[in-house]
Amino acid sequence: MTGRDLAWLTARPIAHRGLHDPSQGVIENSISAARAAIAAGFGVECDVQLTSDGELVVFHDETLERLTDGVGAIATHSADALSRLRLRGGNDAIPRFSEFLAAIGGRTPLVVEIKSAFDGDTTVAQRTAQALARYDGHVAIESFDPDQIAFLRARAAALGIAQRPLGVVGEAHYGDDDWPQLSTAQRAELTHFLHYTRTLPDFLSWRVRDLPHAIPLLLRDAVKIPVTTWTVRSPEMAARARAWTDQIVFEGFAP
| pLDDT tens track for 240-250 | 999 999 999 99
Enumerate the β-bridge partners of residue 43: 14
pLDDT tens for 199-235 read 999 999 999 999 999 999 999 999 999 999 999 999 9
Q: 3-state DSSP call for residue 15?
A: strand
The number of beta carbons lying within 10 Å of the beta carbon of residue 118 is: 17
Within a domain: residue 34?
A: yes
Burial class (CB in 10 A: 0-12, 13-18, 19+), 116: buried
pLDDT of residue 115: 98
CATH of the domain at 38: 3.20.20.190
Are 143 and 203 in contact by the 8 Å Cβ rule? The answer is: no
Q: Which helix (H) or strand (E) holds 204?
A: strand 203-207
Task: Give rounded-to-5 percent helix, strand, coil for the chain.
Answer: 35, 20, 45
Flag whether pLDDT at 88 surpasses 70. yes
- Alpha helices (H) in the chain, listed in sequence order: 7-10, 31-40, 79-83, 97-104, 123-132, 146-159, 184-191, 196-199, 214-221, 235-242
pLDDT of residue 217: 98
pLDDT of residue 1: 47
Is beta strand 43-50 parallel, antiparallel or unpaired with respect to 14-16? Answer: parallel
Within a domain: residue 172?
A: yes
Within a domain: residue 235?
A: yes
CA distance linking residue 43 with residue 106, whole number of Å: 11
pLDDT tens for 134-162 read 999 999 999 999 999 999 999 999 999 99
pLDDT of residue 4: 77
Within a domain: residue 89?
A: no
Within a domain: residue 148?
A: yes
Within a domain: residue 175?
A: yes
pLDDT tens for 1-55 read 455 789 999 999 999 999 999 999 999 999 999 999 999 999 999 999 999 999 9
pLDDT of residue 94: 98
Domain that holds residue 125: 7-61+97-250
CA distance linking residue 111 with residue 106, whole number of Å: 12
Q: How far apart are the first and last CA of the chain?
A: 29
Are 226 and 246 in contact by the 8 Å Cβ rule? The answer is: yes
Within a domain: residue 84?
A: no
Number of domain units in the chain: 1
Within a domain: residue 86?
A: no
Span 78-87, average pLDDT: 97
